[in-house]
């Protein structure tokens, strides 16, 4: 951790502004309905809690944990459920809340898995998207920011479990 360098990419205020915009959009599109947020642990926990407090519609939350990159920054391509949802999603309007879409493998798998549980609807909101890194086709329904192929930390995102607490989003070890 000590030799790692961080360069600010998105400040806390910029993130808060965009989260508020996303919440407005989602509140308008789900008007008259209750939405079930499914927060993908651990990275999306800060985004999900900020988004949830901005929504103007009835909202529930549940959590799912899937295997991630472990101690490396390269995707293994293997997705496994480490902690499943507490309750059934059958007939519910489900919105998966993710921190970042990279290769698309995680959300591609999660979408298929959750669709088989027969929700009324299923959409995905991600705070960040790195479209240049896709290995499978995946387009989120709502996205906060598209970013280049950087490894980023902060606002819930980690490197070996460090940096999740930072208010902004930083590029880890930028080349310049």
Which is it for the CA torsion 149, 127, 65, 112, positive or negative?
A: negative
152 scored as a contact of ligand IMP (CB under 6 A): yes
Quick check: helix, strand or coil at residue 48?
helix
Secondary structure E strands in 13-159 = 35-41, 59-66, 81-83, 93-101, 121-129, 142-146, 152-153
Catalytic annotation present for 102: yes
Contact in structure between 102 and 130 (CB atoms under 8 Å):
yes
Among 9, 101, 114, 125, binds ligand IMP (CB under 6 A): 101
Interface positions, 12-51, toward ligand IMP (CB under 6 A): 43
Choice between 24 and 84, CB closer to ligand IMP: 84
114 scored as a contact of ligand IMP (CB under 6 A): no
Cα 46 from Cα 166, distance rounded (Å): 10
Choice between 30 and 138, CB closer to ligand IMP: 138
What is the set of active-site residues?
102
User: Which residues sit at the interface with ligand IMP, rule CB under 6 A?
Assistant: 43, 68-69, 75, 98-106, 151-153, 157
């Amino acid at each position: 951790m000590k030799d790692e360098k961080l360069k600010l990419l998105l400040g806390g205020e910029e993130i808060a502004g965009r989260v508020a915009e996303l919440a407005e959009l989602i509140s308008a599109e789900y008007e008259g309905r209750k939405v079930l947020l499914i927060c993908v642990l651990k990275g999306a926990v800060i985004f999900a809690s900020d988004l949830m407090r901005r929504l103007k519609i009835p909202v529930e939350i549940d959590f799912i944990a899937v295997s991630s990159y472990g101690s490396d920054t390269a995707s293994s391509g293997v997705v496994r459920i480490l902690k499943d949802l507490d309750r059934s999603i059958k007939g519910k309007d489900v919105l998966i809340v993710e921190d970042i879409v990279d290769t698309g493998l995680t959300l591609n798998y999660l979408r298929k898995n959750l669709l088989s549980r027969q929700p009324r609807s299923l959409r995905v909101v991600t705070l960040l998207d790195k479209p240049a890194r896709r290995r499978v086709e995946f387009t989120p329904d709502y996205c906060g920011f598209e970013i280049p192929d950087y490894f980023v930390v902060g606002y819930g995102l980690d490197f070996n479990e460090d940096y999740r607490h930072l208010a902004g989003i930083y590029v880890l070890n930028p080349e310049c």
